[in-house]
Structures are given as structure tokens and as C-alpha cells.
């Protein structure tokens, strides 16, 4: 059993990111041997990082009680899906802040990115890959860029009663099955890395 946390990387009112995040979380729950949980940054009002030492130097000691809970929540996961919009060729500051507050709970875990916005959010993903590597995470090659027609349809509220499974159905259609490939890569790596983290460190 592996636990995957799906992070909603935007906290704006009338945002879009929470829709694909909820959908992907429900799809993950259908996968064998997977526990999935939605983690919404809107529920985690972390202050801007302002500690005198880095999270590495702090060695897991957090003065702020909310940050301590955040570290505990992230520590529960064996892998992550991060859903992010693209703002001005980048990703939201609230997401960077959430990543920066802690260090060790991210280590040696896979992460996959789901994006939307200009160029499908691809530029935000490229930046996030670099940050993930600095956090000793393992970003997978596959990514999900949500087409603009899906985003516009949701934002313009064209089909308010349409279930999310139908809204995002194009992401799983045909031979490409973008979401299926994404899940396969993420979950295989989550299993391997979980096993690696559980092995005792070599004394040699």
C-alpha cells in the first residue's frame, strides 16, 4: 500500500486547480494498493518562510505549530501529485512557500505535476522539476497538461451539473491515456522508493 497526496497548488477564489485535483484523487483511489488524500493549501495558511535557519539546518525542529503539522502531513505520503496553474511563466508563490518550509519530509519520494494555463502550464512544471530535485524528490517524466477548452468550460460554468469524471474524460481517452501513463509511472516509483526508505542504512 502506498499513500499519494494530491496537492492543490492555488488558493485563489474561483480557482480551477481544485477541480482536477479532486478528480485525480478519486481516480487514484480506484488503483489497487493506493490510498489517496487531497491536500488543499487553502486549508494550510502557512506564513511566509521567515526562519533564521534553513529547514535542513533546523533538522525537523519547527517553532510554528502549523508548520509542524504540515511536516507531519507531508511525512505521511509516499508520493505526490501537485496540481498547479501557471502565472507569468511560473507557479504560485503559495506553492513555493509550502515547499520551502520543510525539507526532510519531501526526500526520496516521487512527484508528478499536473498543470494548466499558458502553454498548458509547461513552464511552471519545468521550474517545479528543479525545485523538486533540490528537495531530493524524484519528479517523474510524465506530466498532465490540461487543455484550455476544458479549463474554459469549467471557468465559464458551461456545464455546472456535469460530474468531474465526464469533465476530464478526454484526459483518459484513446491510446494516449495521459492520466493512465502518469499514474503508472508515479505508482511504480512510489513502491520502489518506499522500499528503499525502509531499508536500514549501510554501515559500509
Per-residue model confidence as pLDDT tens digits over 153-178:
988 887 888 999 999 999 988 767 89
Q: What is the pTM of this model?
A: 0.94
119: left (phi over 0), alpha (psi -120 to 50) or beta: left
CATH architecture of the domain formed by 2-198: 3-Layer(aba) Sandwich (3.40)
Going by pLDDT thresholds of 50, 70 and 90, the confidence category of residue 118 is confident
What is the predicted pLDDT for the residue at 204? 42
Tens digit of pLDDT for each residue in 86-117? 999 999 999 999 999 999 999 999 999 999 99
Task: Give the separation between CA 167 and CA 72, rounded to whole angstroms.
Answer: 33
Residue from 139, 137, 109, 136 nearest 124 by CA? 139
Residue from 11, 184, 6 nearest 93 by CA? 11
Beta-carbon contacts of 52 under 8 Å, excluding residues fewer than 6 positions away, are none
Residue from 146, 194, 203 nearest 171 by CA? 146
Residue extents of the structural domains in the chain = 2-198
Tens digit of pLDDT for each residue in 23-66? 999 999 999 999 999 999 999 999 999 999 999 999 889 999 99
**First-residue to last-residue Cα distance in the chain:** 30
What is the predicted pLDDT for the residue at 201? 55
Tens digit of pLDDT for each residue in 127-142? 999 999 999 999 999 9
What is the predicted pLDDT for the residue at 175? 67
Amino acid at each position: 500500500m502506498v499513500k499519494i497526496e494530491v496537492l492543490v497548488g492555488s488558493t485563489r477564489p474561483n480557482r480551477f486547480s481544485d477541480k482536477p485535483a479532486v478528480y485525480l484523487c478519486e481516480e487514484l483511489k480506484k488503483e489497487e494498493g493506493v490510498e489517496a488524500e487531497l491536500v488543499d493549501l487553502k486549508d494550510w495558511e502557512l506564513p511566509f518562510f521567515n526562519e533564521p535557519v534553513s529547514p535542513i539546518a533546523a533538522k525537523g525542529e519547527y517553532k510554528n505549530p502549523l508548520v509542524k503539522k504540515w511536516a507531519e502531513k507531508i511525512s505521511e505520503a509516499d508520493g505526490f501529485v501537485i496540481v498547479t496553474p501557471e502565472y507569468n511563466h511560473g507557479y504560485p508563490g503559495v506553492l513555493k512557500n509550502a515547499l520551502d518550509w520543510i525539507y526532510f519530509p519531501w526526500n526520496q519520494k516521487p512527484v508528478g505535476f499536473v498543470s494548466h494555463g499558458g502553454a498548458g502550464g509547461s513552464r511552471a512544471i519545468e521550474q517545479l522539476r528543479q525545485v523538486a530535485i533540490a528537495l531530493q524528490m524524484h519528479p517523474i517524466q510524465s506530466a498532465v497538461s490540461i487543455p484550455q477548452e476544458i479549463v474554459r468550460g469549467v471557468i465559464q460554468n458551461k456545464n455546472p451539473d456535469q460530474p468531474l469524471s465526464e469533465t476530464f474524460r478526454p484526459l483518459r481517452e484513446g491510446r494516449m491515456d495521459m492520466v493512465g501513463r502518469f499514474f503508472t509511472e508515479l505508482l511504480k516509483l512510489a513502491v520502489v522508493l518506499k522500499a528503499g526508505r525502509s531499508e536500514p542504512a549501510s554501515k559500509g
